[in-house]
Chains A and B, each alone.
Chain A
Amino acid sequence: EVQLVESGGGLIQPGGSLRLSCAASGFTVSSSYMSWVRQAPGKGLEWVSVIYSGNSTYYADSVKGRFTISRDSSKNTLFLQMNSLRAEDTAVYYCARARGSYGPSYYYYYYLDVWGRGTTVTVSS
């Protein structure tokens, strides 16, 4: 069964750091395109980051320079390192597998076919 399980969320003070993990089963993270999406309390979905199978990474402007997406093939796990956290980063963070194809430009055009249950990050003093 294809499954994603996130962990690592919690309560953190503004300016702090947190690393989220997303353990995959049923498929190989290292050869997949993977993404993080977040959802602030009572709000909609916001794309955060994506990592291509070739290790190219992309970020939303709101997190660029503060968040880093990566993966460990030996653990079949995706990560999101979050630094300089702000109150507005408070959200449920979902990891998801990205499926799609390359578009007219270099970018991979993808939808999200498998989602984890999410892990909650609360940034507050």
Chain B
Amino acid sequence: EIVLTQSPGTLSLSPGNRATLSCRASQSVGRYFAWYQQKPGQAPRLLIYGASSRATGIPDRFSGSGSGTDFTLTISRLEPEDFAVYYCQQYGSAATTFGPGTKVDIK
């Protein structure tokens, strides 16, 4: 099983700040990588797939990068609605796995 490690566990920032979230895979997954946003009481929402492609309707302040084992989600300027938990997912193996999540909260 491919294990994903997300850092930091919690990111405390202010609206307008830039957020940089990291995820590392225990082995290479190519670009088979996605990011999701989850708000309390809601289902996860797909943000990024293929490491850097934005899903339908996702604002361009969200961007993804990376390949192999190291991936980054960047939110260029945090809006109030962006404070949430973010999960990474690798799907470059038979069994997809998720990271433990990074919580972005208001400083």
Q: How many residues in B have their beta carbons less than 8 Å from beta carbons of A?
A: 25
How many A residues are at the interface, by size bracket? Answer: 20 to 34
Q: Are the C-beta atoms of B42 and A111 separated by less than 8 Å?
A: no
Q: Are the C-beta atoms of B97 and A47 separated by less than 8 Å?
A: yes
Q: Are the C-beta atoms of A109 and B43 separated by less than 8 Å?
A: no
Q: Are the C-beta atoms of B46 and A111 separated by less than 8 Å?
A: yes
Question: Chain A, 105-116, contact with B by CB distance < 8 Å: what is the 0/1 string?
Answer: 101011111111
Counting CB contacts under 8 A, is A54 at the interface?
A: no
Interface of chain A, main secondary structure: strand
A115 touches which one: B32, B43, B89, B100 (CB < 8 A)?
B43
Counting CB contacts under 8 A, is A87 at the interface?
A: no
Q: Quick one: closest A residue to B91, CB to CB?
A: A109
B43 touches which one: A100, A103, A116 (CB < 8 A)?
A116
In chain B, positions 72-107 with a C-beta closer than 8 Å to chain A are 87, 89, 91-101
Q: How far is the CA of A72 from the CA of B44 in the complex (A)?
A: 25
Q: Are the C-beta atoms of A113 and B95 separated by less than 8 Å?
A: no
In chain A, positions 40-55 with a C-beta closer than 8 Å to chain B are 44-47
Q: Are the C-beta atoms of A94 and B44 separated by less than 8 Å?
A: yes
Please name 9 pairs of A and B residues whose Cβ atoms are closer than 8 Å in the assembled complex, sorted by A.
Answer: A47-B95, A47-B97, A47-B98, A109-B92, A111-B46, A112-B36, A112-B44, A113-B56, A114-B46
